[in-house]
Amino acid sequence: MDRKLIEKYINSFDKKIVSVLDLDKCKIEYSGIKTGRDIRDIPGDEEVSRAFLLTRLVNELGYPADRIEIETEYTAGRPHTRTTTYYQRFCTVLCGK
């Protein structure tokens, strides 16, 4: 992957989704998008690829930056039914809820 070419591409647009991109220090910061966790380091090529894709989505394809979320965690599946059931019964008896 040619990181310098991607950096040049990202810096060529007026709308800055990537506010800081320092490939020498492996640092990155996003602006204008929602992030579920703080992203500041570039551990590998994945983060550079994400920065490229986000820049393209907003600047070339017209996606609104404020509608993009990255690294947002969601719960999936059911809770542990046995433990949850006993806890709910205990709270109902104890708290009256």
Write out pLDDT tens, residues 9-26.
999 999 999 999 999 999
Which residues are registered as beta bridge partners of 27?
22, 41
Alpha carbon 9 to its chain centroid, in Å, reads 21
pLDDT at site 23: 93
The tokens describing 13, both together, are 């647009």
Query: 10 and 52 in contact (C-beta within 8 Å)?
Result: yes
CA–CA distance, 79 with 20 (Å, rounded to integer): 39
The CA-atom distances, in angstroms, between 73 and each of 27, 35, 69, 78 are 23, 10, 10, 16
Would you say residue 93 has pLDDT above 90? Answer: no
51-83 per-position pLDDT tens digit? 999 999 999 999 999 999 998 877 776 665 555
Q: What are phi and psi of 3, to 5 degrees?
A: -65, -35
